[in-house]
Amino acid sequence: MESSKCVGLLDGNGIYIFLVIGNYNNTLFTNQCIRSIADSIQYNNNEIKEIIVIDNGEEEYIPQDCLYTPTVIRTNTPLGYGKAYSLGIQCSNIESEYVLLLNNDCTVNSNWLDILVQKFSEDPSIKLVGPCIDIDKDYIPGFCSLVKRDVLEEIGLFNIGFSPGYYE
Q: What is the pLDDT of residues 30-83, one digit of tens each?
A: 999 998 988 888 887 877 888 889 998 888 888 886 777 888 888 878 888 888
Q: What is the mean pLDDT of the chain?
A: 79
- Segment 10-24, tens digit of pLDDT: 334 456 677 888 888
Question: Half-sphere exposure of 136 toward its Cβ, with a 13 Å CA cutoff?
Answer: 6
Run of H or E residues at 55: strand 47-55
Over 76-136, what HEC string results?
CCCCCHHHHHHHHHHCCCCCCCEEEEEECCCCCCCCHHHHHHHHHHHCCCCCEECCCECCE
Task: Say if pTM beats, i.e. exceeds, 0.75.
Answer: yes
* pLDDT given for residue 163 in this prediction: 64
SS3 sequence, 156-168?
CCCCHHHCCCCCC
